[in-house]
Structure 1
Amino acid sequence: MKKYQTSTRAVQMMKMAWSQPSVDYHLRNLDRLCGTPLVKRSTRGSSLTAAGEIMLDRAQRILTLSQRALHDVQAHAQSGLTRMKFGTFPTAASALLPSIVKKSKLAGLHIDSTLEEIYQLVAHVNQHEYDAVLLYSVPGYDLPFTPTVTTTEVFREPMQLALPASHPLARRESIDMETLVGLQDENWLLGATRDDPIDTVVVDAFKAAGHQLEVKFRTDDYSVMLGMIAAEMVVGLVPLLASMGPRPGVALLPIDDPAFSRSLLLATPHSPKGSELAANTRKLSDIITDCTSLIGDSSVHRSGR
């Protein structure tokens, strides 16, 4: 039985076990309802029109929300807590997630958490698959959110230049941009993803100064990075959240330029004012702000500044 050769996503979404005439009948009715064809048909198969792509995108969101509604109501009936699907990136999870989960439970929220990289989190919240995601952005490098997503800055996190403790600059209180871009001959370690916003800021700063930054190593594991720095192999940038634990052999210098910071953002699908989701989002935002303020206070206390 020949099936329509629409996109795999469409077939998975519809999960149809109908014959071709049945599918054709319903698609033509949907064309009439929409006032425009959703599928282009030819002897070589079928593909979605631009209108069909829009319908597929919206239908996926509706199906996701319908499945989530059933699952969330069942979970609430069992635990008495309101379930929130929450995503964040590993560094924030390590420093903040245990406190967020604990405080959320006291506030009547069950945090169903997932760890992913930044652009995966953006994709999930754009499709309304998650209730909230905690991620970061940097000045001048906006993330590709859709207009249906609302973002709130919950913390401004400074980036620090990480050097071996034996480095000539290690005893400085901070580092200015002229000195920073003069380190083009050092072995730099940057993130594994070449288009990471933070790494882009570094590369662009060196380029603006007429230098080509040579990246010797790449990793997203800050424990590996700090170990390599302590072993006098590399230098790099470390966010505040990744430097909270012991770091023997490593000197961390604040950078005298606001571009070398990242905004921790809570991104959520837009919800009507006064709705339960809007209220729960405010609760979660307050909880995360409270958790990050403790991180900031601890940093100031440890540094003596």
Structure 2
Amino acid sequence: MAYIGGMIDLRQLRALTAVAREGSVSRAALRLGWSQPTVDYHLKNLDRIVGTPLLVRSTRGSALTSAGTLMVERAAEILSLTERAVTDTQELANLGRVRVRFGIFPTAAARLLPDIVTRLALVGVELDASLEEVTPLVTGVNRRELDAALVYAAGGYQLPFRSEVHTTPVLSEPLLLVLPRGHRFAEQEHISHEDLLSLAGDPWVLGATAGDTMDDAVRDVFLAAGLELNVAMRSDDFSVVQGLVAAGMVIGLVPELALVTQREDIVAKPIVGQSFTREIVLAAPGEGPGKQPPAAVRQLAEAIRRSVSATRIDRAS
């Protein structure tokens, strides 16, 4: 279909969105506080710009066409961005500060969030932070309910972000096998692939949240060898995991970041012959032709990198 051309007016998007919500042009006019002819005028101009009808009208009301459904979805993003642009600019002008809706998974929040907040305060960025597991964070970014989220994927898995979401690598960290000090492999410097496979029958602890790529990565290794993992317990709290391991109840994989404070009665061993890593990225909806995140999110990325570096120095010292 040929592009008809024309500049979209935000009032056209508001008119279409209101009709989608209310189910009729007349009720949309009441919602917006406009006259019905005004709503009709903007809808017809929007149809002309896109070159196809966006609504099907009947005596029972108005329904979106497939093109209309797509336009309403994009309109929600555009209107949300517009509102955020106005709000951010007003806040910056009035207070000299910008607020960022930021999601972060609990392990990273425990180790990094206080330092991130402190660093951002120095450059005039404030965080509205929420703690969630990875799956809801991905959803929040895709829906633009979050301006940015710190998420992770393990074992080469890809997270289901929309195409306009920009990801900035922050940290690649090993997943370490944690064992009680009395375990038969506790004195080894590392765990070989063969050693790992021999542990299939040991009681393991995995995450409690469905879709965690760390769990998928370890299960896949055993499945590839025709072995089934003995999953005895589940927890997303790595401090709890350390306690369970120390008690000799389970073994499991724990990311390096979660071992900043490591119990003395457990050992953490690298695994060779198998790539167990967790890639942590900052994900944010991109803006403009290059789909780059806004300046405040770029400041956030830098603050996260510096916080990660400081945490690693503290762990090494």
Q: How does 1:288-299 map to 2 (within 5 A)?
A: 288-299=304-315
SS at 2:135 equivalent: helix
8 Å Cα contact 1:13-1:60 kept in structure 2: no
Count of aligned residue pairs for this structure pair = 295
SS at 1:183 equivalent: coil
> Shift of the alpha carbon at 1:258?
5.9
Is 1:79 aligned with 2:81?
A: no
Say if 1:13 and 1:180 are closer, same or farther in 2 by CA, change over 3 A.
farther
Question: Please, what TM-score do these two structures have when normalized by structure 1?
Answer: 0.83
Q: How does 1:24-103 map to 2 (within 5 A)?
A: 25=40, 29=44, 30-39=46-55, 48-103=64-119
In structure 1, runs of 5+ residues without a counterpart are: 1-6
Q: Which one of the candidate residues 106, 110, 127 is aligned to 2:122?
A: 106
Is 1:200 aligned with 2:216?
A: yes
- 2-structure distance, mates of 1:206, 1:42: 58
Residue 3 of structure 1: aligned partner:
none
- 2-structure distance, mates of 1:134, 1:166: 36
* One-letter identity of the residue aligned with 1:135: V
8 Å Cα contact 1:125-1:267 kept in structure 2: yes
- 2-structure distance, mates of 1:291, 1:9: 47
- 1-structure distance, mates of 2:23, 2:113: 32
- 2-structure distance, mates of 1:65, 1:229: 47
- 2-structure distance, mates of 1:252, 1:8: 56
Residue 278 of structure 2: aligned partner:
262
> Shift of the alpha carbon at 1:58?
0.8
Say if 1:279 and 1:63 are closer, same or farther in 2 by CA, change over 3 A.
closer
8 Å Cα contact 1:272-1:278 kept in structure 2: no
Residue 150 of structure 1: aligned partner:
166
> Shift of the alpha carbon at 1:109?
1.6
CA deviation map 1:139-166 (0-9, x unaligned):
4211112221111111111111111121
> Shift of the alpha carbon at 1:127?
2.9
8 Å Cα contact 1:184-1:206 kept in structure 2: yes
SS at 2:198 equivalent: helix
- Greater Cα radius of gyration, structure 1 or 2: 2
> Shift of the alpha carbon at 1:300?
3.6
> Shift of the alpha carbon at 1:210?
1.3
- 2-structure distance, mates of 1:114, 1:74: 23
Is 1:11 aligned with 2:27?
A: no
Residue 116 of structure 1: aligned partner:
132
Q: How does 1:263-282 map to 2 (within 5 A)?
A: 263-272=279-288, 278-282=294-298
8 Å Cα contact 1:83-1:112 kept in structure 2: yes
Q: Which one of the candidate residues 199, 214, 226 is aligned to 1:183?
A: 199
SS at 1:140 equivalent: coil
> Shift of the alpha carbon at 1:278?
3.8
Percent same amino acid among aligned pairs?
43
> Shift of the alpha carbon at 1:103?
0.7
8 Å Cα contact 1:137-1:264 kept in structure 2: yes
Q: Which one of the candidate residues 112, 122, 127 is aligned to 2:143?
A: 127
SS at 2:141 equivalent: helix
Q: Which one of the candidate residues 240, 255, 263 is aligned to 1:247?
A: 263
> Shift of the alpha carbon at 1:282?
3.0
SS at 1:264 equivalent: strand
Cα RMSD, aligned residues only: 3.4
- 2-structure distance, mates of 1:194, 1:224: 18
8 Å Cα contact 2:147-2:284 kept in structure 1: yes
Residue 3 of structure 2: aligned partner:
none
In structure 2, runs of 5+ residues without a counterpart are: 1-16
> Shift of the alpha carbon at 1:119?
2.0
CA deviation map 1:238-263 (0-9, x unaligned):
11121112424221111225631111
8 Å Cα contact 1:136-1:263 kept in structure 2: yes
Q: Which one of the candidate residues 143, 152, 177 is aligned to 1:161?
A: 177
- 1-structure distance, mates of 2:238, 2:42: 51
